[in-house]
A = this chain, B = another copy of it.
Amino acid sequence: MKTLRADALRSRERIVRAAEAAFRRHGVDASLEAIAKDAGVGSATLHRHFRSRRELVEAVFQDSTGAVAAEASRLAAEHPPGPALFHWLQAVLDHTLANRGLATTLVPAADEHHGGFCGHDALEAAVAPLLVAAKGAGQVRADVTVGEVLSLVNAISLLADHDPGADPERLLGLAITGFGPRQCEQH
């Protein structure tokens, strides 16, 4: 990214802050125009900085998502491989549950990579070492990929967004241990 002009940087910062507040209050579907007004900028400015709602959401949650990703190495140090992975997946789930609507942006971007921060990629990179360690310890089936594990967590987050009655942590537990018969091809 080439250097932004000082005023542009300031605008961007105010937009992100306003968006953060609006998302907290109204969810990620908050009106972009209202966010622009709160930030004291014109709506055109908002659209110039963030070409899509998704880009804005990702900017707002970049820090917290990064923190969750960083949590992975801490857990790896403090727990054996299996529990480290499962606790981290819980942490990812908690993170999305705490921010209704966030889940939709942690799904791989359908369109393209705009070069900026991508929450999904950050989480994928973070989980990779946990997963190989857990596989090494025989705690996870060898044929499961990083993407699949994250997809299951995302799926549950999406459901929780739509159905307040669901118990996401319970569902994650079910998905991890399975509710049907274990295939007997285990090592």
Chain B residues, CB < 8 A from A82: 180-181
Interface segment out of the listed A5-13, A17-25, A38-46, A157-165:
A157-165
Chain B residues, CB < 8 A from A174: 144, 148, 152, 175, 178
CB distance from A96 to the nearest CB of B (A): 12
Is B151 in contact with A171, judged by CB distance below 8 angstroms? Answer: yes
Is A108 in contact with B149, judged by CB distance below 8 angstroms? Answer: no
Chain B residues, CB < 8 A from A165: 108
A108 to B163, CA, bound (A): 6
Task: Decide if A156 is an interface residue (CB 8 Å cutoff).
Answer: yes
- When C-beta atoms are compared, the residue in chain B nearest to A182 turns out to be B182
A63 to B166, CA, bound (A): 26
